[in-house]
Chains A and B, each alone.
Chain A
Amino acid sequence: MDLGLADRVYIVTGATSGLGAACVAQLLAEGARVLISSRDQSRVTAAVVEHNEKYPGQVCGVAIDIVDPEAPGALARLALAEWGRIDGLLVSGGGPPSTGFLGATDDQWRAAFDSVFLGPLRIAREIASQLSAGGCIGVVLSGSVYSPIPELALSNGLRPGVAMALKTLSDELAGTGIRTVGLVPGRIETARTLELDSAQPEVSARRNSAIPAGRMGTPTEFARVAAFMLSPAASYVNGTNIVIDGGVKRSL
Chain B
Amino acid sequence: MDLGIIGRGALVLGGGGGLGSEIAKSLAREGVKVAVADLVEAAADSTVAAILQEGGEATAVSWDLADHVAMESTIDELEASHWPVDILVNITGGPPPSSVVEQSEELWKEQFNGMVLSVIRLTDRLLPGMKARGWGRIITSTSSGIVTPIPNLGLSNALRSALVGWSKTLAREVGEYGITSNLVIPGRVATRRIVFLDEAKAKREGRPVEDVTKESVASIPVGRYGKPEEYAAAVTFLASAHASYITGTSLRIDGGLIPSV
- A239 to B220 alpha-carbon distance, docked (Å): 10
Closest residue of chain A to B253, judged by CB? A236
List of B residues within 8 angstroms of A145 by Cβ: 261
Q: How large is the interface on A (under 10, 10 to 19, 20 to 34, 35 or more residues)?
A: 35 or more
Task: Tell me what chain A mostly uses at the interface: helix, strand, loop, or mixed.
Answer: loop
Taking the closest CB of chain A, its distance from the CB of B34, in whole angstroms, is 15
A238–B255 CB distance below 8 A: yes
Taking the closest CB of chain A, its distance from the CB of B230, in whole angstroms, is 4
- Interface: B1 (CB within 8 A): yes
A167-B261, A221-B245 as given contacts; A238 in contact with B175, CB under 8 Å: no
Chain B, residues 150-173, CB within 8 Å of chain A (1/0): the string is: 000000000000001100100110
B221–A239 CB distance below 8 A: yes
List of A residues within 8 angstroms of B71 by Cβ: none
What is the number of contacts between chain A and chain B, taking CB atoms within 8 Å? 131
Q: How large is the interface on B (under 10, 10 to 19, 20 to 34, 35 or more residues)?
A: 35 or more
A234–B256 CB distance below 8 A: no
User: 26 A-B residue contacts at CB 8 Å?
Assistant: A1-B233, A1-B236, A2-B1, A164-B261, A171-B256, A174-B223, A218-B245, A221-B245, A225-B243, A228-B1, A234-B234, A236-B187, A236-B234, A236-B253, A237-B252, A238-B254, A239-B256, A240-B252, A240-B254, A240-B258, A242-B246, A245-B246, A247-B171, A247-B172, A247-B180, A252-B164
Besides A244-B246, A245-B245, 9 new A-B residue pairs in contact (Cβ under 8 A), listed by A number: A214-B175, A218-B245, A224-B1, A236-B187, A236-B226, A236-B255, A238-B255, A240-B254, A248-B248
Q: A: which residues have CB within 8 A of B?
A: 1-3, 30, 145, 163-164, 167, 170-171, 173-175, 177, 179, 186, 211-214, 217-218, 221-222, 224-225, 227-228, 233-249, 252
